[in-house]
Amino acid sequence: MAPIKEKGAFFPAEIPFEARPRKVGVTHVLDRLQALDPQQLTYLAPYLDVAKIGWGLPLLVRRETLHERIKTYHNAGVQVSTGGTLLEYAVTHGRVPHLLDEAKGLGFDMVEISSGIIELSFEQIDRLAEAVTKRGLQFLIEVGKKDTQHQLSLKETIAQIAHARSLKPVRVIIESRESGRGVGIYDSDGGIKWDWVRSIVSEHPAEELLFEAPLETQQVQLIRELGADVNLGNIALTSVAPLASERLGLRGETFGAIRRSHPVKGPPAAKFLFFLLETYRGLDQAQLVHMSRLPRRTVQSALESLRQQGLIQEAISLTDSRRREYRLA
C-alpha cells in the first residue's frame, strides 16, 4: 500500500501576496475617524484596498493629524480617498483648487467626484475630473442621490454610469449612503433591487463598478449573486475581515456557494448572460431574453460569443425535449 502523503499545515504561514491595485474584488472602506490601530490595520491590509475619509470629516481635525492618518494607511499599503461630500462642499464655496492642491499635499491618492447632494452637469464633472488628473491624483465617480425622496430613475442611473465610465475613473461607485436603505439599488428596507442590478451589469462591466454595500447582509447577497470578486464599498473597518471570509466561502452564508471568476471576454451582454446561466443553470433563449431584458438579437450574439469561447453548450432540455437550453460547458 502506498504511503499516505502528508498534507501541508492547516493554518497559513504567510498570506499569499496579491499585487495592487487589485483589478477585481476591491474592498473600499468608510473611515469615520474612529480609532485606528496600526497593528490591526496590518492584519486587515491584505483584504483592504481603499479607505475613504468620509463626508467632510477631514475638516474636523488638524492638518497634521490628517496627514498622520493617511500615512498610517499608506504604511499598510492602503490607498486613501476623499469623500464626495467634501468636493461638493468645495464646489459650493468656490474652493475646488484649494481642496485639490491641499489634498495632494496631505497625501490623498484619490478624490471622489459626486453629485449626491448638489446638481452637477456632465460638463462640470468633466472639468472636475480634468482638474484632479492635472494634479496627479486619481479619481472615483459616484452615481446616485443621497435624498431618499429624490432618487435617480434606473434609466438616469445607467446613463450617468455611462458618462462616468467615459472619463476612465478608477471605479464608478453606485451610491448607497451609509444606511444602505432607500437609495440606489436598495429599497427602503435595505433589500436589493435585483432588476436594477441586472440591468446595470448588462450595460456596464461589473469590474469597472463598485457597489456600496454597508450592511453585511447586502455584502453576502452581492457576493452570492455576482461572485466573490465583486467590488464593494462603504464597508466598515470592523467588517473587513468578515467580508474577506465571505469572499473565501469561510462562513455559513457563502460556504460552498461562492463562484470564482471566469475569463469571460466580449461585450457586457455576454458577461451578463454568463452570470445568468451560472446562477440559474439551464435556460432557453426566450427565458434569457425575458430575464436580461435585452433584445433577442443581442442575446443571440452574446450566446454565440460565449459558445466560441467554449464557456457554454446547447443541449436538449431535461424536462421538455422540444426545448433547447444553454448551460455552462
Name the residue ranges covered by the structural domains of the chain.
27-247, 268-328
Residues in the chain: 329
What percent of the chain has pLDDT above 90? 68
**Mean pLDDT, residues 98-106:** 98
Residue-level pLDDT at 138 = 98
pLDDT level of residue 293 (50, 70, 90 thresholds) = confident
Identify the pLDDT of residue 159: 97
Q: Residue 131's pLDDT is what?
A: 98
Residue 258 has what pLDDT? Answer: 60
Return the higher-pLDDT residue of 177 and 74: 74
pLDDT band at residue 9 using 50, 70 and 90 as cut-offs: confident
Residues 56-83: pLDDT tens digits? 999 999 999 999 999 999 999 999 999 9
Region of poorest pLDDT, from 8-17, 25-34, 122-131, 198-207: 8-17
pLDDT in tens, 209-249: 999 999 999 999 999 888 889 999 999 999 999 999 998 88
**CATH architecture of residue range(s) 27-247:** Alpha-Beta Barrel (3.20)
- In this prediction, residues 196-204 reach a mean pLDDT of 91
Specify the pLDDT at position 252.
81
Q: Which residues lie below 8 Å from residue 72, measured CB to CB, with a gap of 6+?
A: 36, 38, 41
CB-neighbour burial class of residue 208 (10 A; exposed 0-12, middle 13-18, buried 19+): middle
Least confident of 166-180, 181-195, 300-314: 300-314
pLDDT at 130 over 60: yes
SS3 161: helix
Output the pLDDT for position 233.
97
* Predicted pLDDT of residue 12: 80
User: Looking at the predicted structure, is the pLDDT value of residue 2 above 60?
Assistant: no
CA neighbor of 226 nearest in space, from 270, 274, 188: 274
pLDDT of 250 reads 86
Model pLDDT, residue 255:
76
DSSP letter string, 310-326:
TSEEEEE-SS-TT-EEE
As a whole number of angstroms, the distance between CA 268 and CA 3 comes to: 50
Any idea which fold 268-328 has? Arc Repressor Mutant, subunit A (1.10.10)
Question: Which range among 28-37, 209-218, 314-323 shows the weakest confidence by mean pLDDT?
Answer: 314-323
DSSP state of 85: H
Task: Report DSSP state, residue 237.
Answer: G
**pTM score of the predicted model:** 0.80
Give the closest residue to 109 by CA, choosing from 50, 27, 169, 69: 50
Average pLDDT score, the chain: 91
321: left (phi over 0), alpha (psi -120 to 50) or beta: alpha
User: Using 50, 70 and 90 to split pLDDT, how confident is the model at 318?
Assistant: low
Ramachandran category for residue 61: left, alpha or beta (phi over 0 → left; psi -120 to 50 → alpha): beta
- High-pLDDT (> 70) share of the chain, %: 94
Reply yes or no on whether the pLDDT at 29 is more than 80. yes
Closest CA to 16 of 52, 37, 46, 40: 46
How many CB atoms neighbour CB 178 within 10 A? Answer: 16
Higher pLDDT, 319 or 69: 69
242-271 average pLDDT score? 79
* Residues forming a β-bridge with 283: 326
